Amino acid sequence: MQIREATINDIENIKKIYLQAFESSEAQVVSDVAVNLLKEDPPVKVISLVAIEGDEVVGHISFSPVFFKSSNEHFGYILAPLAVSPKFQKNKVGSSLVKYGLDVISNIGSFIVFVYGDPKYYSRFGFKVDLAKEFIPQYALQFPEGWLALKLNSAVLPEGGKIVCVDSLDDPNLW
Ligand SMILES: CC(C)(COP(=O)(O)OP(=O)(O)OC[C@H]1O[C@@H](n2cnc3c(N)ncnc32)[C@H](O)[C@@H]1OP(=O)(O)O)[C@@H](O)C(=O)NCCC(=O)NCCS
Identify how many contiguous H helices and E strands the chain contains and give both numbers.
5, 8
Using a pLDDT cut of 90, give the percent of the chain over it: 91
Q: DSSP E strands: which ranges in the chain? A: 2-5, 47-53, 56-68, 74-84, 112-116, 135-136, 147-151, 161-164
Question: Ligand 1: which residues within 6 Å by Cβ?
Answer: 21-22, 82-84, 89-95, 117-118, 120-121
Q: Which of 19, 58, 78, 89 has most ligand 1 atoms within 8 Å of CB, for mutation?
A: 89
Pick the atom of ligand 1 nearest to 115's CA: 48
Residue-wise pLDDT for 68-113, tens only, equals: 999 999 999 999 999 999 999 999 999 999 999 999 999 988 889 9
Q: Is the pLDDT of residue 156 over 80?
A: no
User: How many separate domains does the chain show?
Assistant: 1
Domain that holds residue 153: 2-174
Domain of 11, CATH number, reads: 3.40.630.30
Average pLDDT, the chain: 95
Q: Which of 28, 63, 121, 122 has most ligand 1 atoms within 8 Å of CB, for mutation?
A: 121
